[in-house]
Amino acid sequence: MKMHPIKPKASLLMLSIACLLAPLVWAQQASKLGAELTPVGAEKAGSKDGVIPAWSGGDVNPQGGYKAGQPRPDPYAADKTLYSINAANVDKYAAKLSPGQVQLIKSIKGYRVDVYPTHRSCGYPEVVYQRSKENVGFAKLAANGYELAEAKTAGYPFPMPASGVEAMWNFKMRYQGEGLTWAYSTVVPPKGGSDIGQPLVQEDYIMFPLSEPKNNNIAGAKGVESLYLSPYIAPAQFAGDVTLSHAYIGKPNDIWLYFASQRRVRRAPTYSYDAPILNDENLETIDQYTMYNGPLDRYDYKLAGKKEMIVPYNWNKLNSVQAKIGDVVQPTFLSRDLARYETHRVWEIEATVKQGARHTFPKRTFYLDEDSWQILVQDLYDGQGKVQRVMESGVVMATELPACVQEAYASHDLALGRYIAERIPAGQKQSDWLAGRDGRVKESMFEPDGLRRFATR
């Protein structure tokens, strides 16, 4: 059969029509936000069985006269447990748990999941909703397929993601204010011990240029994803050590380490990806920090779809600064009495290492909350295809922003039979999520030459 090539004039006409129609298509897509979808892209309707309620704006109003800086209250303290999942009945609920969660319940004595009524607590400022809508048709990935080429700041770049990479960028650009300060403990309980060991206490200063509305877009944010400064406060052998990080969108991150005992600042170009985090006893890699941290270039990301799952959520009790560290962190897991779980819809993202790339974990599965784009659960697989590590972190509604944020999280290594409890606020001052907005955190604080002034000895 003879093929007739498209004539140049016809081709130009078709291209012109496509260019004219594109804005109409994007406008039609954007109109779904705030209608059948929430302003950040979640399904507004509840589940058919009524377990997941319809989204009604989130619980953005402070409870009981709460003001920023005070210990955060638990608005759901009166809720009763609906049911508990343990080793005896986990198979009944396995379809709504990740493979890693099932393994935690089966393999760790006393580990259980208490399920409570679902509250769709997440809500955001109007500017986040507006910028997310503006990003429809505007935000785009770079030609390499994993970097972000353009997006409006203070909004989700892809509220209706078409790929796993787009969904991961929603996580990386999750709105959590312009910057914060907080103090917390990292705890690495010894294997087989009856105590939790000596907590590592740090105080972080963080800025999120991509969440600053005034920056408008990536160029306005100077291509900076985040600025991070973390001095160690305790114990004595680490006090005064400082980590500084500049995370970028289009180039490798810059990282500096200051060791108080040496009184030297060193660049750390290889302190990234699957390099172990200092002082964490090889239980956490750099790109596990905050559930995922760093570039997206070593994996291919498949958008597997959306599903209902039992996930950590509304972790107000577990993140209370009024709690005692020994009540939150226990020898083999975070307190089962304080950890709350609910049924929510999540996006499932399957990440596999790219051909020619290397990583300690060749496969990872991320479960992203549809209402906040936070990673709630992550399974990390070894080279034999077995789940090696399992991570969990529940959101907390910070009404002062307003935004759903994450603080405490845990990472269990099934092969080693140990876990690490990260960013535990118990016994510390209340997190300051308004520090960036109110000027208590500034860009000038994140210069390598100034690291020594944050040292405590």
Q: 14-23, 49-58, 143-152, 426-435: which has the minimum mean pLDDT? A: 14-23
Task: Kindly tell me if the per-residue pLDDT of 206 is higher than 70.
Answer: yes
pTM for the full model? 0.94
Task: Kindly tell me if the per-residue pLDDT of 217 is higher than 70.
Answer: yes
**Per-residue pLDDT tens over the stretch 301-317:** 999 999 999 999 999 99
Mean pLDDT, rounded, for 159-177: 98
The pLDDT value given to residue 101: 98
Confidence of residue 63 (pLDDT cuts 50, 70, 90): confident
The pLDDT value given to residue 457: 44
The pLDDT value given to residue 310: 99
Mean pLDDT of the chain: 94
342 alpha carbon, distance to own chain's centre: 18
Mean pLDDT, rounded, for 40-52: 98
